[in-house]
Amino acid sequence: MMETHIVGKAYVLGDNVDTDQIIPARHLVYSLSDPEEKKRYGQYALSGVPDAVAGLPGGRVPFIPEGEFRSPFKVIIAGKNFGCGSSREHAPACLQIAGVAAVIAESYARIFYRNVVDGGFFIPFEAADSLVGKLCTGDEVTIDVASKTVTHAGTIYALRPLGDVETILEAGDVFAYARQSGLIPTPQPVGTPTAGRTAGS
Amino acid sequence: MTLTEQVLARHAKRASVVPGDNIWVDVDVLMTHDVCGPGTIDIFKKQFGAEARVWDPEKVVIIPDHYIFTADAYAHRNVDILRAFAGSQQLPYFYDVNTPRYKGVCHIALPEEGHTRPGEVLFGTDSHTCTAGAFGEFATGIGNTDAALIMGIGKLWVKVPSTLRFVFEGTMPPYLMAKDLILHIIGDIGVDGATYRAMEFAGDGVMSLSMEERMTLCNMVIEAGGKNGMIAPDETTFAFVRSRTNKPFEPVFDRPDAHYETERRYRIADIPPTVAKPHSPDNRASVREVAGTAIDRCYIGSCTGGKVSDFLAAAKVIRGKEVKVDTYIVPATTEVMREISRSTYEGETLLSIFQKAGCKIAEGASCAACLGGPSDTFGRLNKAEVCISTTNRNFPGRMGSKQSAVYLASPYTVAASAVAGTIADPREFL
Ligand code: SF4
């Protein structure tokens, strides 16, 4: 299920980016299953990040260009405790809807990390050494999912192993995992998308 | 095993577990609300079929509380979705808006309605579900996907957390509240200091606290990144739970073989009234250090600081005075709302004390501006304002505008600041 290589531009954020910054609470009202309404989660992804630190090192780089629903940035580089705060699944969902395929953080808040994995929204990597300060917003990066590395301009940085959750990520989401484990007896109805592919809708 | 490990082991039907084990546990209660319920229901239907039934209607509790008193049409649509689902699934525990059953903030409504019981496993689609650890149960927040899986099969995988133990010795002085203790701890260990871990509170200082104060302690473990909070049940717990429900439960107690990753000991006498400065719950200062700081408003409410005892504390400070800045009073639940119009301090009802002082009283119980919410939300910070609040989070923009700034403090400290007009130490008013 997982892509083998993720290639795209990086968007760099600092420590403790909480779920209110990822998707401010007033936007939590839109439906995640209505395709038109769902786009708004992309539109407002990361809109709560204070301007001065939005896109490091300089800040003031909009994650989503004015009037658009998708981001030109496919990979988020973050510091410690990314996704702290609320349990809202709208947070990982909005990043996926905006086009994010991977986040590389120094560490994650627990519920956010779990939501990313169980919903199958994107791959939550941890960097062995923080990449904030090493990479800049706009840098082109390539993640090799199998070898757990990220490369920019010829320099290779190591990512941590995904550990226990790799099984769930490979299955696609927690439902696929539970079916594999025999916890959901009935086969998935044909043509039914998994939670992750419909952004937790 | 620690309290957390004992509860998890029993719910995984195992003799024992150790931190790091990945286990599937049976769920006693699944709680959801108006922000995450619609998404959960949607995934449940996609995964299990449009006609699927929840695994146990007695165990699904739905409490709309976040976006209630707003004109936002989407917000109302979300409550409609909950109503239709509760109707079709015949859920006995749906606390609908605009009915006598309406409750308000889920984490306070759960214990009021007897849904928090020692020894059980509670999952909720809200990060402050950890509040219920005050009752000696394993309680934690999850997302829509996990909640939808529970709805279908009544189970969820859990990684057993190791436990950090916090022991408080001594008795609480009259100016201090559980909020000061937990802000103190978060200041010590940081907003990620307990990530992937259980936080257990113990010692005579904790066991002498009321249930409401114990709930405040456990409520904010998530602000340290904690997976769950836990306090061993005792007579205080049992008296509360038995007054709310007849359901049987099996408590767990401290065992000598418990292994803690760390244990920190505090003397309550050493802890002063404490705040978290903008923009992080671990940005700790004593109230004295920030006394005199200009503020635009005060806010008393939320699952952290909107309970009856929180308003009693505030009333003690405010009685007979006028507030010098806009002060918002937001009872967490309809029961708290009723109680503040009945309970008295020095012969006067709490409500009357707040009204005479010039406070702004919410029209109904809800989360209100604790999380910002739609732009017409009561008490929302819509511009670059400074607020001192009894809530639990102060990351940028949490209470509305990302230009605003929030100090977190106890109801005593917020009330003292309200009557002083700048941040003030409650010891000067008690
Ligand atoms: S009162 Fe605030 S913290 Fe508590 S459940 Fe409501 S929004 Fe969350």
Q: Reduce the DSSP state of residue B135 to 3 states and report it.
A: helix
The shortest CB-CB distance from A87 to any of B72, B143, B402 is to B143
Give B195's contacts in chain A (Cβ within 8 Å). 81, 107-110
Which amino acid does the sequence have at A84?
Answer: C
Partner A contacted by B84 (CB < 8 A)? no
B240 and B279 share one domain: no
The CA-based angle B374-B332-B371, given to 5 degrees, is 30
Across the range B300-308, mean pLDDT stands at: 98
Helix (H) or strand (E) holding B259: none
Give the sign of the dihedral formed by CA A63, CA A65, CA A68, CA A74: negative
Residues 136-175 of A with CB under 8 A from B: 164, 173-175
Residue among A29, A174, A190 with most chain B CBs within 10 A, to mutate: A29
Separation of B105 CA from ligand 1 center, angstroms?
Answer: 7
Q: Is B371 in the pocket of ligand 1 (CB under 6 A)?
A: yes
B108 and B236 share one domain: yes
Q: Is B128 in the pocket of ligand 1 (CB under 6 A)?
A: yes
* For chain B, percent of residues with pLDDT exceeding 70: 100
Partner A contacted by B142 (CB < 8 A)? yes
**Residue A184 covered by a domain:** no
B342 and B286 share one domain: yes
- Rounded Cα gap, residues B241 and B243, in angstroms: 5
**Residue B240 covered by a domain:** yes
Helix/strand number for chain A, H first, E second: 6, 7
- Rounded Cα gap, residues B18 and A22, in angstroms: 34
With a CB cutoff of 8 Å and minimum separation 6, the contacts of B256 are none
SS3 readout for A166-200: HHHHHHCCHHHHHHHCCCCCCCCCCCCCCCHHHCC
Separation of A191 CA from ligand 1 center, angstroms?
Answer: 37
**Residue A132 covered by a domain:** yes
| Half-sphere CA count of A192, side-chain side, radius 13 A | 18
**Residue A27 covered by a domain:** yes
Model ipTM value: 0.94
**Residue B151 covered by a domain:** yes
SS3 readout for B282-331: CCEEEHHHHCCCECCEEEEEHHHHCCHHHHHHHHHHHCCCCCCCEEEEEC
- Rounded Cα gap, residues B309 and B68, in angstroms: 24
- Give the per-residue pLDDT at B226: 98
CATH number for the domain including A62? 3.20.19.10
**Residue B254 covered by a domain:** no
Give A31's contacts in chain B (Cβ within 8 Å). 38, 42, 74, 77
- Give the per-residue pLDDT at A195: 44
B166 and B38 share one domain: yes
Partner B contacted by A59 (CB < 8 A)? no
Position with higher pLDDT, A194 vs B208 = B208
Peptide bond preceding B279: is omega within 30 degrees of 0, i.e. cis? yes
Under the banding of pLDDT at 50, 70 and 90, the label for residue B26 is very high
Across the range B107-122, mean pLDDT stands at: 98
Q: Which of B215, B225, B231, B140 is nearest to B190 (CA)?
A: B225
Under the banding of pLDDT at 50, 70 and 90, the label for residue A200 is very low
pLDDT in tens, B358-400: 999 999 999 999 999 888 999 999 999 999 999 999 999 999 9
Helix (H) or strand (E) holding B371: none
Across the range A143-172, mean pLDDT stands at: 96
Partner B contacted by A35 (CB < 8 A)? no
Position with higher pLDDT, B190 vs A191 = B190
Q: Is B392 in the pocket of ligand 1 (CB under 6 A)?
A: yes
**B237 CB-contact burial (10 Å; exposed 0-12 / middle 13-18 / buried 19+):** buried
Residues 366-425 of B with CB under 8 A from A: 371-375, 393, 395-398, 402
Q: How many residues does chain A have?
A: 201
Separation of B222 CA from ligand 1 center, angstroms?
Answer: 12
Across the range B142-156, mean pLDDT stands at: 98
pLDDT in tens, B273-283: 999 999 999 99
Under the banding of pLDDT at 50, 70 and 90, the label for residue A189 is low
- Rounded Cα gap, residues A157 and B118, in angstroms: 47
Partner A contacted by B42 (CB < 8 A)? yes
The helix-helix angle for B308-318 and B211-219 (nearest 10°) equals 100
pLDDT in tens, A120-132: 999 999 998 899 9
Shortest CA distance from A92: residue in chain B? B143
B278 and B238 share one domain: no
B233 and B285 share one domain: no
- Flag if B402 and A50 touch (Cβ within 8 Å): yes
What are phi and psi for residue B303, nearest 5 degrees?
Answer: -65, -20
Instruction: Please choose from B367, B378, B389, B408 the residue to mutate so as to test ligand 1's pocket, defined by most ligand atoms within 8 A of CB.
Output: B367
**Residue A200 covered by a domain:** no
Answer for the pair B416, B317: CB distance below 8 angstroms, yes or no: yes
Across the range A85-110, mean pLDDT stands at: 97
B211 and B303 share one domain: no
- Give the per-residue pLDDT at A1: 58
- Which residue owns the Cα nearest ligand 1 atom 2? B370
Q: What is the pTM of this model?
A: 0.96
pLDDT in tens, A62-84: 999 999 999 999 999 999 999 99
The shortest CB-CB distance from B127 to any of A25, A86, A183 is to A86
B19 and B163 share one domain: yes
Separation of A21 CA from ligand 1 center, angstroms?
Answer: 16
- Give the per-residue pLDDT at A187: 60
- Rounded Cα gap, residues B10 and B252, in angstroms: 10
Q: Reduce the DSSP state of residue A100 to 3 states and report it.
A: coil
- Rounded Cα gap, residues B25 and B121, in angstroms: 8
The answer on pLDDT for B25 being more than 70 is yes
Separation of B346 CA from ligand 1 center, angstroms?
Answer: 31
Q: Which of B222, B195, B251 is nearest to B140 (CA)?
A: B222
Under the banding of pLDDT at 50, 70 and 90, the label for residue B227 is very high
**What's chain B's average pLDDT?**
97
Domain end position, chosen among B266, B294, B320: B266
Instruction: Please choose from B65, B106, B302, B378 the residue to mutate so as to test ligand 1's pocket, defined by most ligand atoms within 8 A of CB.
Output: B302
CATH number for the domain including B284? 3.30.499.10
DSSP state of B157: E
Residue span of the structural domain in which A152 resides: 5-161
- Flag if A195 and B47 touch (Cβ within 8 Å): yes
Peptide bond preceding A57: is omega within 30 degrees of 0, i.e. cis? yes
B128 and B242 share one domain: yes
Q: How many residues does chain B have?
A: 430
The answer on pLDDT for B263 being more than 70 is yes
Shortest CA distance from A173: residue in chain B? B145
Under the banding of pLDDT at 50, 70 and 90, the label for residue A99 is very high
- Flag if B72 and A111 touch (Cβ within 8 Å): no
Q: Which residue bears the tokens 């929204």? A: A121
**Closest approach atom of ligand 1 to CA B106:** 5
Partner B contacted by A69 (CB < 8 A)? no
**Residue A168 covered by a domain:** no
Across the range A17-23, mean pLDDT stands at: 97
Under the banding of pLDDT at 50, 70 and 90, the label for residue A198 is very low
- State the total domains in chain B: 2
- Give the per-residue pLDDT at A178: 95
Structure tokens, B260: 């803690």
B279 and B203 share one domain: no
- Flag if B145 and A200 touch (Cβ within 8 Å): yes
Answer for the pair B129, B156: CB distance below 8 angstroms, yes or no: no
- Give the per-residue pLDDT at A197: 41
**Residue B253 covered by a domain:** no
- Rounded Cα gap, residues A78 and A101, in angstroms: 14
Q: Is B399 in the pocket of ligand 1 (CB under 6 A)?
A: no
Q: How far is A162 from chain B (nearest CA, A)?
A: 15
With a CB cutoff of 8 Å and minimum separation 6, the contacts of A14 are A53, A56, A78, A79, A132
* For chain B, percent of residues with pLDDT exceeding 90: 99
The shortest CB-CB distance from B143 to any of A84, A115, A183 is to A115
- State the total domains in chain A: 1
B193 and B326 share one domain: no
B217 and B74 share one domain: yes
Residue span of the structural domain in which B421 resides: 274-428
The answer on pLDDT for A196 being more than 50 is no
- Give the per-residue pLDDT at A199: 39
Q: Is B303 in the pocket of ligand 1 (CB under 6 A)?
A: yes
